[in-house]
Amino acid sequence: MLSAKSLFQEILDDDEAFRLFCSIAAGGESQGGWENGRIAVLVPESQRALAPKIARHGADEDKHGRIFGALLRKRGLRPVEVPRETDYTMLLERQGIGLGHERLRLDEPLLEGDIITYLAHSRVTEQRASEQMRLLRKHFADHPDLGRAVKMISNDEDDHLAYCHEELLRLARAGHGRTIQRTLRECALAEIRVYRDVSLAVMAHMGRILGWSRARAAVLAAGIHGVHAYERLVGWRRMVSLEQPERRDALGGPATQMPEFA
């Protein structure tokens, strides 16, 4: 029977599949760390109070990248080059979502509107990350190799999502509500397209590594398309709603240290 747990267990049990999974995850987290680090440096004066929280966000993402690298080293594996069609962060940038790398490489302060763009993009992508890590935590929290990593990353992603809610609500109260809702909707609709495309690409690569039959690959692809259809119709709304989080000031302190995995 196909299930999220059985699929991931199959990836976990195969060195090449696990190598690709961790390489993709580490690459995305490292890119996120760099982006947040640059945004923290370029925050406009009107939003300088956000800079330590953005820096903390970036430090967490860097830590996640190192964790996935450590999981590879623990199994004696080296990272592989990430296939371009599986690069979620790059593909989102190509869709014009978030702040582009070219802009972030300039030593020019961002505008307040750029901070809204950054937070809206983060609110959408952190929703996805939080859901994915909660799923892994549900099934693998007690795993001897993955357990600590999954729990730490899941907790961080929940903190990141809470932070985005809180800061976007603050900016909405300051008069940016319509801009925030428009930007959130644009980000959400683009993200679900990119997530579908990346999911199909990752499953195609995994299928070749694991020797899936055409029938099994077709069933998985149909499932991905089904999720996209649901999200395109109504599921995107969960990515644009804003509510005061239970975790207040979630990024107000120093980043938690990475436990020794390797």
Can you give the residue range of the structural domain that contains 12? 4-239
CA atoms within 13 Å, Cβ hemisphere of 185: 7
In this structure, what token pair is assigned to residue 174?
Answer: 């300051």
Residue 244 lies in a domain: no
Residue 104 lies in a domain: yes
Sign of the C-alpha dihedral computed for residues 5, 10, 14 and 16 taken in this order: negative
Residue 247 lies in a domain: no
- Summarised one tens digit per residue, pLDDT across range 24-82 is 999 999 999 999 999 999 999 999 999 999 999 999 999 999 999 999 999 999 999 99
How far CA 122 is from CA of 101, 143, 144, 162, in Å, comes to: 15, 29, 31, 11
Domain count, the chain: 1
Residue 262 lies in a domain: no
Residue 206 lies in a domain: yes
Residue 214 lies in a domain: yes
- Summarised one tens digit per residue, pLDDT across range 94-150 is 988 899 999 999 999 999 999 999 999 999 999 999 999 999 999 999 998 899 999
The distance of Cα 35 from the centroid of its chain, to the nearest Å, equals 13
CATH number, domain of 202, equals: 1.20.1260.10
Residue 107 lies in a domain: yes
